[in-house]
Amino acid sequence: MTPSSPSSVTAAERATSVCVPVGTTDWLAAPDAAMKRDAVAGLERGDVVLFPHLPFALSPAEAKLLDPAVVKEGTKTVKYDPDTGRVWGYAEGIDAAAMKSMMERYADHTRRLLGALTPYGSALKIGNTSFRPVEAQGRQQSKRHDDTRLHVDAFPSRPSHGQRIMRVFTNVHPGTKPRVWRVGEPFETVAQRFLPKIAAPFPGSAQLMKLVGITKSRRSPADHYMLQLHDRMKLDDGYQSIVPHQTVEFTPGQTWMVFTDQVSHAAMSGQHALEQTFTLEIDGMADPERAPVRVLERMKGRKLH
C-alpha cells in the first residue's frame, strides 16, 4: 500500500475514539441524512458504529432465555438462519418457540436498520443470527478459536471471494454488565505486519479442499490470505501482548455494527449478546478501495480473486 493512497486509514484518523456514535434510538424509524453519512463513512473507514441507546426489547418468555444453560453442551452460541428459519445449537427442553421469535425479530430489525441507514441495497445479504448467553471471559478453547485474542474475521468453510463481513451486536444483558471489546490497529497496519510472512496458497489446494469437503466452494487467494491473517494474529503471543489497542465497553441497551473482516477486534468479557452477520459485495461499497481484499491486492500488486 502506498502512503499516499486516499483509501488508507492514517494513524491520525484512528488516534481518537474508534467509535462513531449514531443517534438512532428506534430500530424502525427513518434515519436522517447525517446519521446515514456518519454510519457509512464510519463503517467503511474501519470504525465501530455505535448506537448508544438502541436496546432490543425481549418478551418475558424471551428474557427467560438469558441463561448459559440454553446452549447445547460444547457450543457457545445458538444460531438461526433467516433464509430457512432453522434454529440450532440449543439445549433440549428450552422454549424453542421463544428462541426462534427472538432470533427472527433480531434478524428482521437489523436488516431493516441497515436497509434504511446504508445505500448497500441488494449487495448486502443477511447471514446467520447468533445468541451469545455464555460469559466471553475465561472460556477454555484453542488459541485459534479464542475471540479474546485480537483478530480480523474470516470464514473458514464458506469462501467469501472477497465479500465483506459486517456484524451487528446488541448487549441484551438484563443488568449492568458491559460487553468489553478491544479494538486493535487499522487493517493496513495489520496487513503490513503479517502479509510478508504468509506464503501463497499451495497450487491445487483450493480444488483439493473443495473436493474433500473442507470448503463448500473453491477457496480464493483472497480467502487464503484473510484466514492466514486471522490465524497468525491469534497465534502470535508477542503480537497480542504488545499491539496497541483501545478498550471499548458496550453497556446493556447499546447496539454496534462493524466490518469485522477489517477491524481488528477481541471480545474480552460480557454475557448475553445478540449478533447478526451480513455479507456485502465489494462493488456495493461507497469506497470499494477500502475493502481488505483491495488493500491486500495493492500490497501484493495483483488480483486475489
| Part in contact with ligand SIN (CB under 6 A); list of ranges 49-57, 65-73, 112-120, 265-273 | 265-273
| Part in contact with ligand SIN (CB under 6 A); list of ranges 32-40, 66-74, 191-199, 260-268 | 260-268
Query: For residues 45 and 265, which CB has a smaller minimum distance to ligand SIN in the complex?
Result: 265
User: Rule CB under 6 A: is residue 209 a binding residue for ligand SIN?
Assistant: no
The answer to whether 201 and 276 have CB atoms below 8 angstroms apart is: no
Amino acid letter at 276? Q
DSSP 166-217: EEEEEE--SSSPPEEEEE-S-HHHHHHHHGGGPPPPPTTHHHHHHHTTSSSS
Positive/negative CA dihedral, 265, 266, 267, 269: negative
User: Rule CB under 6 A: is residue 260 a binding residue for ligand SIN?
Assistant: yes
The answer to whether 261 and 198 have CB atoms below 8 angstroms apart is: no
Q: Would you state the torsion angle of the CA atoms of residues 255, 257, 260, 263, taken in this order, to the nearest 10 degrees?
A: -100
User: Rule CB under 6 A: is residue 149 a binding residue for ligand SIN?
Assistant: no
What are the two backbone dihedrals, phi and then psi, of residue 183, each rounded to the nearest 5 degrees?
-120, 125
CB of 153 to Fe ion, least distance (A): 4
CB of 61 to ligand SIN, least distance (A): 24
CA–CA dist 86, 79 (Å, integer): 8
Of Fe ion, ligand SIN, none, which one does residue 132 interact with (CB within 5 to 8 Å by kind)? ligand SIN
Looking only at residues 149 through 208 of this chain, which bind Fe ion when binding is defined by CB under 5 A?
153
Q: Would you state the torsion angle of the CA atoms of residues 73, 79, 80, 84, taken in this order, to the nearest 10 degrees?
A: -70
CB of 179 to ligand SIN, least distance (A): 6
Query: For residues 104 and 147, which CB has a smaller minimum distance to ligand SIN in the complex?
Result: 147
User: Rule CB under 6 A: is residue 132 a binding residue for ligand SIN?
Assistant: yes
| Part in contact with ligand SIN (CB under 6 A); list of ranges 14-22, 26-34, 158-166, 259-267 | 259-267
By CB atoms closer than 10 A (0-12, 13-18, 19+), residue 197 is exposed
Q: Which position has the grid cell 480473486? A: 305
Query: For residues 153 and 236, which CB has a smaller minimum distance to ligand SIN in the complex?
Result: 153
CB of 184 to Fe ion, least distance (A): 11
User: Rule CB under 6 A: is residue 105 a binding residue for ligand SIN?
Assistant: no
Question: Which stretches of the chain bind Fe ion, using CB under 5 A?
Answer: 153
Question: Which stretches of the chain bind ligand SIN, using CB under 6 A?
Answer: 132, 136, 147, 153, 169, 179, 260, 265, 267, 273
